[in-house]
Structure 1
């Protein structure tokens, strides 16, 4: 009897490797994930991009009746990425979400720009080869990847894997430890994923310098103001950072000059690339390098742009010219061919913005001089998505921008922006949470002109806007039956919203809370910073989304003009 049982147990253990999952501790081969038993495909309703269902782009490739992958020939599936995920430790009661960005447009890795899919996790079992500490796993195939794309993973609010570049045919194992918030990589392309994480950490640590700049107009006046020297010294001891006072303009540029000229970060990055050179193809190493350095130089370019924006004659300043020439030289060393990476795109956009400020040229006019192609198209798209809120003649400029675009994806994206934001478009019927628990859309106030303000608590600009503009407007238009003011909080916490009413908004106004499903709509309207405004007409059509002058008298004039226009047919 004992002998028979032993034979049976050995039978379980001696299953051929082609039909079992690989042990995590093993060194994964090229078919590591291909042999793993996948879980079921997410329901179509579990994937979205701006509200659109995309079940066609994420599949699991498994026949549940045979437990075999639907695609058996990896060579015929090079337009896919295989991702096998293991959760080690207690599993939070939150969804595991995969996000993919098929194209980076310079807005950062916003979830509204991604195709997001809720992944099903399965419990561990013997045949999956899991370690005892694994609480759940998920096996996913990302379909239709023809070029490098960014893919990220989140477990609720926990970032399992920041967005990394994945290539067609990649196969990656990811193990996430919930207790330590630690992510480990294995599998055929695990080293590439690991290197990208190492480089991101390297950049974060490099930018976290021990010195904090305090930019002032006049250093002598600042330092002689009531014991400031002592306060700076005490603050440095308390927070472990050296507080450096620099004067606006020239001294800012001197500090920036040192950062641009500093080769320490480049040396550290190249040293890390050498460690991984035997495991990763050279073309990928070059893209990873361009991505991380592009992110660094992009930040320096934006800093230069902000400095030049306050300069009376940047083109006549030799120092400003020198800084711009240095950044341009860095960009020409390979970044002009790396617009597939987020860092490359960010660097190009930041450098272009600094240049049109330096030349004192209207952005769209400067962009029109760029050679026709994707590099110009991405500037046009970024300009309207990032700066559109401040444009008084948004519709006119957008028409000009669309006419200049040659890339079909960028063209379609800007057409969607036009449809969502143009004057006369009706506001989307997205519902918001009212203080009494009901849900109401912004077109709820029929036959009224409506000024909607979006804010978040803790925002200094939101606080001053309420105190200096919104509260006076409420007093001025008190009793005006044709006008309504609506206050929308974009806070993440409902209790924080409610406790902030009276400080950031009036207790007497219509107070609403932005629900999770409403963020996509705000994003489509270009509301990505706070405070922001939308002015609506009598039937919910958009009267203005951009170009609001942030002063009381201008806002009063704008609202009075809207009232006169909207009610011109009323005696």
Structure 2
């Protein structure tokens, strides 16, 4: 599976994870949502079949860790909505105990651990880290699973045992095979013209020299009719792209239950289609009018629409689709492309394709990713909630109000100051505050602060009594200190969120990208989750309007009466 880099010429957001994809924000399909169910969904079985008896999961084993200060961390995601969503995600840090002669541990470096994850209703995803070293990333686990694991970070070995050994072993081998294929494939840059990029500075010489030295590690895909047709053919005719993975899975099928085998198979097919559909949506769809004549476009849109309906993966059960992360990622892009080609709202398309809890899951994922881009999120939540059938998804959609509709106080957080002291959320109140969150490897944060936020503070906000507070989410305090002048300013208040506090903040406010700026009034109430970045003039105008609203909500003695500089 090839790696693809989608060049973003006007990108304004940084994703806080390693990624080769930079997304350009686009309007969500269909601002006027239609809630009539219309045609019934396409599911052939009741979603209740996916919910079984509650049962715990047991993970236990041994670890050799040369960095004894790094804790073992295990996280569980029972309801996947997106890579960045923290919905009902749980974190565990099991105690590590020295082994003894009497339990057969003869190596004094070995520590033992055991963890019982509370009752699960259906399969979930688990991740395992030691410090910041990711050892297992989103592995599937079923209720009743019991996994024994040997972690040797001295020799870099990971060994599975126990009753669930085979299920984890096949996932480990599948992950390794996919990583091997990615490593052996060149990275692909998708852009309008490679010549424009290569003609700058000495880029062509660097590219050619590295290709001769290391082989072809970087390729360019031109955004033209030929490459677009090639992409559609990859979607339509799968070829042998995942045959190795399917063969590996087939070879271990006797050691798996039918449910385990089906879920892993769905992950493979959906993962393959998601990569292609994401490329189609982000790189090509908006450019089609420049690639085809007006008379040709309806035919092209019709071809895309039919292709999306042909790859609906109808042979897989609702039970598997309610769990699979890759299926949901693929389905979001598939339904978006149907929505665009049929000129219908996304949620209407979802209602035509699905029903019951599967519709709830798709709807919750869509709102989680897009709600903040609608002009009236509160109304959208009110209108959509009656359509939701399951309490867990009702709770999720209702909770989105806190992340998208201003009016609540900032949640309780503890910040670290540059000198190591701590300060609480309550200590931020007393005057309006622009609370700017960033991390110190996000170049968009640096440009945002230097080009928009700090000039606004210097020219207007400071004189109005509005404080600017910069909050780093860097887990490396040295990086935070060293990069302060590039991403903030030493003369303003500089704070940092610890890993635990950052996770709490990101989960509550559904934070998926940076930078983020909250505008708080003097009481600590959030009045805005961000200002427009279209231009400095628009940025300043929105700040001025928000400040006027804040001023009217407070007594004359609390804030200055004039907003003119």
TM-score (norm 2): 0.79
Unpaired runs of 5+ in structure 2?
1-52
Give the superposition deviation at 1:282: 3.2
Alpha carbons of 1:451 and 1:358: their partners in 2 closer, same or farther (altered >3 Å)? farther
Instruction: Using the TM superposition, name which of 150-159 and 212-221 deviates more.
Output: 212-221
Q: 2:75 aligns with which of 99, 116, 120?
A: 99
State the partner residue of 1:291.
267
State the partner residue of 1:144.
119
Equivalent residues of 1:451, 1:484 under 8 A apart: yes
Give the superposition deviation at 1:100: 2.0
Q: List per-residue Cα deviations over 1:184-237 (Å, max 9, x = no partner).
A: 112222011100111122222333453332333335555666776544312323
Equivalent residues of 1:90, 1:135 under 8 A apart: no
User: How many equivalent pairs are there?
Assistant: 494
Aligned-partner SS, 1:480: helix
Give the superposition deviation at 1:165: 1.9
Give the superposition deviation at 1:524: 1.3
The structure with higher relative contact order (CA 8 Å, sep 6+) is: 2
Equivalent residues of 1:203, 1:296 under 8 A apart: no
State the partner residue of 2:483.
500
Distance 1:286 1:149 in 2: 15
Distance 1:511 1:255 in 2: 50
Distance 2:177 2:306 in 1: 26
Alpha carbons of 1:185 and 1:321: their partners in 2 closer, same or farther (altered >3 Å)? farther
Equivalent residues of 1:389, 1:547 under 8 A apart: no
Alignment of 1:3-18 (within 5 A): none
Q: 1:331 aligns with which of 295, 312, 317?
A: 312
Q: List per-residue Cα deviations over 1:89-119 (Å, max 9, x = no partner).
A: 64723322332222222335x6674222221
Alpha carbons of 1:311 and 1:376: their partners in 2 closer, same or farther (altered >3 Å)? farther
Q: 1:434 aligns with which of 417, 442, 466?
A: 417
Aligned-partner SS, 1:374: helix
Q: Is 1:398 the equivalent of 2:398? A: no
Aligned-partner SS, 2:55: coil
State the partner residue of 1:553.
537
Alpha carbons of 1:304 and 1:133: their partners in 2 closer, same or farther (altered >3 Å)? farther
Give the superposition deviation at 1:305: 1.5
Aligned-partner SS, 1:433: strand
Alignment of 1:460-479 (within 5 A): 460-477=443-460, 479=462
Distance 1:376 1:429 in 2: 34
Distance 2:92 2:275 in 1: 31
Distance 2:360 2:112 in 1: 41
Distance 1:533 1:507 in 2: 18
Distance 2:478 2:198 in 1: 41
State the partner residue of 1:344.
327
Q: List per-residue Cα deviations over 1:519-571 (Å, max 9, x = no partner).
A: 11233112221111212122111112257344211221122112222223526
Distance 2:536 2:118 in 1: 52
Alignment of 1:368-383 (within 5 A): 368-383=351-366
Distance 1:112 1:412 in 2: 10
Give the superposition deviation at 1:270: 1.9
Instruction: Using the TM superposition, name which of 403-412 and 413-422 deviates more.
Output: 413-422
Alpha carbons of 1:215 and 1:143: their partners in 2 closer, same or farther (altered >3 Å)? closer
Alpha carbons of 1:305 and 1:186: their partners in 2 closer, same or farther (altered >3 Å)? same
Q: List per-residue Cα deviations over 1:281-319 (Å, max 9, x = no partner).
A: 333212111123323322322222212452365993655
Alpha carbons of 1:102 and 1:242: their partners in 2 closer, same or farther (altered >3 Å)? closer
Equivalent residues of 1:390, 1:548 under 8 A apart: no
Distance 1:89 1:489 in 2: 29
Equivalent residues of 1:96, 1:119 under 8 A apart: yes
Equivalent residues of 1:452, 1:487 under 8 A apart: yes
Distance 1:476 1:135 in 2: 59
Aligned-partner SS, 2:406: coil
Q: Is 1:127 the equivalent of 2:111? A: no
Equivalent residues of 1:454, 1:487 under 8 A apart: yes
Equivalent residues of 1:389, 1:546 under 8 A apart: no
Alignment of 1:166-181 (within 5 A): 166-181=141-156
Equivalent residues of 1:246, 1:252 under 8 A apart: yes
Distance 1:78 1:525 in 2: 29
Alpha carbons of 1:390 and 1:236: their partners in 2 closer, same or farther (altered >3 Å)? farther
Distance 1:220 1:432 in 2: 47
Equivalent residues of 2:78, 2:88 under 8 A apart: no
Aligned-residue CA RMSD in angstroms? 3.0
Give the superposition deviation at 1:360: 4.6
Unpaired runs of 5+ in structure 1?
1-76
Alpha carbons of 1:458 and 1:499: their partners in 2 closer, same or farther (altered >3 Å)? same
Equivalent residues of 1:174, 1:184 under 8 A apart: yes
State the partner residue of 1:483.
466
Larger Rg: 1
Distance 1:320 1:231 in 2: 39
Distance 1:366 1:308 in 2: 21
Alpha carbons of 1:456 and 1:134: their partners in 2 closer, same or farther (altered >3 Å)? closer
